[in-house]
Every structure is written in C-alpha cells, then in structure tokens.
A and B are shown apart, each in its own frame.
Chain A
Amino acid sequence: MQETDKSLLEQIGASDIETSEVYNIRKNGKCIGRKTNPYIDILSKEDGKGIDVHVKDNTLFGMVHIPVIVTESGFTESVYNDFYIGKNSNVIIIAGCGIHNDHHKNATHNGIHRFYLEENAKVKYVEKHYGEGTGSGDKILNPVTEIYMKKGSMMTMDTVQIKGVDSTNRETFAKLDDDTSLVVQEKVLTSNKQFSKTNFKVKLKGKNASTHITSRSVATDSSYQEFHSNIIGKNACYAHVECDAIIKDQGKVKAIPEVYAKHVDANLIHEAAIGKIAGEQLLKLMSLGFTEKEAEEVIIKGFLK
C-alpha cells in the first residue's frame, strides 16, 4: 500500500484496517483487499460496482470496515453496497471515503448504501468523509443511504465530514416498522467555497417507531450548507430532529424542516438554531486566558466533537 493510501485511510479512521477481522478496501474502483469470517461474508456484485455484505442471524460483536479511497484525478464512480443484517445480530459497520486529488480534474465518489435490518438486528454505522490534495479539481462525494428496518431493530448512524470535500449531496432515506429506533448524528464543517446539502427522509410506519436526528454544522468562509428533513409519522411514533449550525465569515446555512403527522398519536418535533458563536461563550473562554481566535477554535471543536 502506498503512503497516500495509508494517510487517506488514517483520515477516515481505518488506519489499522488490516488487523480487523472483516474488511473490504476499494481503491479507484477496484478491490485491493478483503477478509471475511464464517459469520460475515462479503461478495462482489456481478457488475463489479459494489459489494453485498451478509451478516448471519445471531452474529454478535461483528465489525466490518469498508473504506473507499480515490487517488486518480478525473475518476468518477458510483458504488452500490448492500448490507443484509440477520435477525438478532449486532454489528458495527465503518465506512468512509477519502479523496486525494492533486490535479485539475474533478474526482467523484457516489456511494449508495442500502441496509436491510431483520427483526431485532442492531447496527452502528459510522461514515467519515475526507478530501485532500493540491490540485484545482474538486473532490466530490455524494452518499446515499437507504435503511429498511424490521420490527424491533435499531440503528445508529454517525456521519462526519470535517475537511476538504468541495461538494456533497447527501441523501438518507429510512423506513421504520414497529418498535424500531433510528438515531442519526451528522457533523459537517465546510470552508472556502464548499457546498454541502443534506436531505433526510424518514417514514415512521410502525407503532412505537422512533427517530432522533441531530445535525451539527459549521459553515466558514463563503461556504454554503443546506439541511432538509422530511419526517412522516404514520402511526403512534416519535421523532426529534435537531439542526444546529454555527456560521462564520460569509458562511451561509439554510434549514428546511418538514414534519407530517398522519396519525393522531404521532409526536414529531423539529428544532433548528443557526447563528454565530455566542458572545458570552467567547467571553467565558477569554476570561480563562484564551485569545478570541483560540476561544473560537475551542468552541467549534467542542461543537463538532
């Protein structure tokens, strides 16, 4: 593995990947490493455009790493990864995409991830995005996540995009049956002229389905972010969507909430707060000896922690 590959893997939290039990590494459209075990299998799709991950029923403490790295300028790909999570199993899936682009052409990765959770399955899905490189070509990531949850299943999804991605269009769609719970935490920091758009659509179909979506973002320089959420409650269900953003410089953030209750026992809440760093937070940290600039960094780091 080359140094750039290693550094990209490290940035997306997969530095020690080769010691893990189950993994699949994709570089510039090709699989460059895979390992499976008797409980978790990874199969390439016939057209080569992605993988199917099968987790057997009752698999506990499974962990799967599926990083993607792109180092060729001008490279564009769409990858379809499907995850079949068996009944009563409990797994952690760590995905991420790192792009290194030193040239003028754009490099694009569109990852389409579909999760099928069987009854009482539990998944923690972690996704980290990172872009680097000295070229003028944009680093573009467009992740799509679809989640289908059967009775009693639970999923948490943590997504982080902290640095260097020029353009992102993120789509997340989920359908929840009875007694399911989906928790999403999204963290985004954009700078320069970066663009980031997030769209959540969650259908709470089953009784006692619940979702909690938290988005924390920071838009600096002249970057732009958009947050859409669309929650539909079709049963006795609960949803809480929280969009919290800090704007700096000429950064812009737009939040568009949509909650649609189609059942009298649906309880849907949306909160959005956008603003610059609170003056008293700066004063407090300055009273502890930090300069204004240091105080700002501490506040943003904490906010996105």
Chain B
Amino acid sequence: MLELKDICFEKEHKKILDHINLTFDPKRFYVMTGPNGSGKSTLVKIIMGIEKPDSGQILFHGKDITHLSLDERARLGFGYAFQQPVTFKGITVFDLLKLAVNQDLDKEEAMEILMRVGITSRHYLEREVNHSLSGGELKRIEIATVLARKPLVSIFDEPEAGIDLWSFQSLIDVFQQIESTSKGMTLVISHQERILNIADQIILLEDGKIKEVGNRDKMMPLILNHSKKMEVD
C-alpha cells in the first residue's frame, strides 16, 4: 500500500538517507530500529510529509504522493505521533481529541479513546495539554490523537522516549492492542526489545541505508548481535 522508491536526503552536505527502498503492506506492524543518527526519524518525517526528500518517490496505493504536504497526507489517512509531544496553551485534552477526529465528540466517546491508552479518569478531559501533565501522560495523549483518527498509516516516532517504567508497561499493552486490532499499517521507531517483539516486520537502518528487513525470528538475533558489536566498537 505504501512504497518508498530510492529516497535520498541530505542535510548540511551530509547524507542522511541513501537510496531507501521499502514496501509496506496493509494491516502489518513494522518496527524500525537502528543506531542513533541512522536516519530513522528523518525517514518517517519524509513519509509523513514533514520533510521533503531530495530525490525519490513515495507511492500510496500506486499514487505518487511525494509532493503532497503534511496536511494533505493527514487527510489521506496518515497519522503521526511526535517523539516530543507538542503542548498548547488553552487547548484541553478534550479539545485536542475533537480536533483530531475533526468532528463533534461527546465526552463518552472521548473517554473511550483515552481508555485505549490507559487513561481512565474523566478529569483528564478538562486538563490543558501542557507540562502540568507528566511526560508519560503527554505521550499517551499524543498516541490517543493518532488512534482517534483511525489512520490507514500510523507512524510513532520513539514512543518510549522520555517516559517512566510504569508508563512504558502500559505503552506495550497499547501497541499490542494496535497490532491486533488496527486495520491500517503501523510503523514504530523503537529501540525496545519488547516493542520489537510485537513486530511483524523489523527494519534495521544504519548510516542512512537499509541494513536488513525481515520477520522477528530472522531479525532479533541479528539486532542483538549488532548491538553487542556496537558496544564493543
């Protein structure tokens, strides 16, 4: 359903992405991993339309979307959870969920969405989406805004970054649930073994190139060896 053809991207004369070719199938759960600076975040930003590639093509159901903007892709059914959740002044959790679904939502429906990310108390609806919420809470709300839209393509950039151990446990549950129920495809950037273990396919990126793609059984030993080797180096 989604195809990346020969994607290249440079920043300040440094090659960040070097001829990336990837194909994503519907209903599958992909996890992309690789060392820091390997180009993972840039690649998902290019898929979402936040960055533009220098060359290459992005096809969605066979249609070239390379030149579509971020909001145009969002309207096509792309969803993106930011690594650093964005905060707002004067916008409540309820407001943000209504904006995410772009229609009127009653409180029950909003709570159903929040329950999916492990938020069960109604008083969160009236809280402002600012730093009075903890990092873990902001992260879950960020994920909820993506789930609320029921995207065809859901992208999560390092959902585990900046959250505590307790929040991490419930995050795993959230992703397990996405893996088993989502009708679209999901792409998660993660370094966590427990998230890698949910994946149908794992993509290993290194120095802006696809090092290897495959299922868990093939990829997990490779990744563990790879990270050990990196530690020795």
0/1 per residue, B133-164, Cβ < 8 Å to A? 00000000000010001000000000000000
- A118 lies within 8 A of chain B by Cβ: no
CB-based contact A303/B90 at 8 Å: yes
CB-based contact B95/A284 at 8 Å: no
- B224 lies within 8 A of chain A by Cβ: no
Measured CA separation A288–B103 after assembly (Å): 12
Q: How many residues on A have C-beta within 8 angstroms of the other chain's C-beta atoms?
A: 22
- In the assembled complex, the CB of B100 is this many whole angstroms from the nearest CB of chain A, namely 5
Contacts of A303 in B (CB 8 A): 89-90
Measured CA separation A292–B50 after assembly (Å): 13
- A256 lies within 8 A of chain B by Cβ: no
Contacts of B90 in A (CB 8 A): 216, 302-305
CB-based contact A288/B95 at 8 Å: no
Q: Taking A244-B89, A303-B89 as contacts, is the C-beta distance between A288 and B82 under 8 angstroms?
A: no
- A75 lies within 8 A of chain B by Cβ: no
Pick from B48, B79, B99: contact of A298, CB under 8 Å: B99
Measured CA separation A304–B86 after assembly (Å): 18
- B36 lies within 8 A of chain A by Cβ: no
CB-based contact A288/B86 at 8 Å: no
- Of the listed residues A278, A286, A295, A305, the one surrounded by the most CB atoms of chain B closer than 10 A to its CB is A286
0/1 per residue, A241-281, Cβ < 8 Å to B? 00010000000000000000000000000000000001011
Measured CA separation A284–B69 after assembly (Å): 13
- A63 lies within 8 A of chain B by Cβ: no
Majority secondary structure, A binding face: helix
- A291 lies within 8 A of chain B by Cβ: yes
CB-based contact A280/B82 at 8 Å: yes
Q: Taking A288-B99, A288-B145, A290-B99 as contacts, is the C-beta distance between A283 and B74 under 8 angstroms?
A: no
Q: How many residues on B have C-beta within 8 angstroms of the other chain's C-beta atoms?
A: 23
- B175 lies within 8 A of chain A by Cβ: no
Measured CA separation A109–B69 after assembly (Å): 48
0/1 per residue, B53-71, Cβ < 8 Å to A? 0000000000000000111
Contacts of B95 in A (CB 8 A): 302
Pick from B50, B75, B91: contact of A283, CB under 8 Å: B50
- In the assembled complex, the CB of A105 is this many whole angstroms from the nearest CB of chain B, namely 37
- B9 lies within 8 A of chain A by Cβ: no
CB-based contact A285/B99 at 8 Å: yes
CB-based contact A283/B86 at 8 Å: yes
Contacts of A290 in B (CB 8 A): 71, 99
Q: Taking A303-B89, A303-B90 as contacts, is the C-beta distance between A284 and B71 under 8 angstroms?
A: no
CB-based contact B70/A286 at 8 Å: yes
CB-based contact B89/A287 at 8 Å: no
- In the assembled complex, the CB of A73 is this many whole angstroms from the nearest CB of chain B, namely 36
Measured CA separation A268–B90 after assembly (Å): 24
Contacts of B91 in A (CB 8 A): 298-299, 302, 305
CB-based contact A284/B89 at 8 Å: no
Q: Closest residue to B101 on the A side, CB-wise?
A: A288
Contacts of B70 in A (CB 8 A): 283, 286-287
Q: Closest residue to B73 on the A side, CB-wise?
A: A287
The 6 lowest CB-CB distance pairs between A and B, nearest first, are A302-B90, A302-B91, A284-B86, A289-B74, A286-B71, A305-B90
A-B contact pairs, 10 of them (CB 8 A): A283-B82, A284-B82, A285-B99, A286-B69, A287-B70, A287-B80, A288-B99, A288-B149, A289-B74, A298-B99
Residues of chain A whose beta carbon lies under 8 Å from any beta carbon of chain B: 216, 244, 278, 280-281, 283-292, 295, 298-299, 302-305
Supplied contacts A280-B82, A286-B74, A299-B91, 10 more A-B pairs, CB within 8 Å:
A284-B82, A287-B70, A288-B100, A288-B145, A289-B75, A289-B149, A298-B91, A298-B99, A302-B88, A302-B91
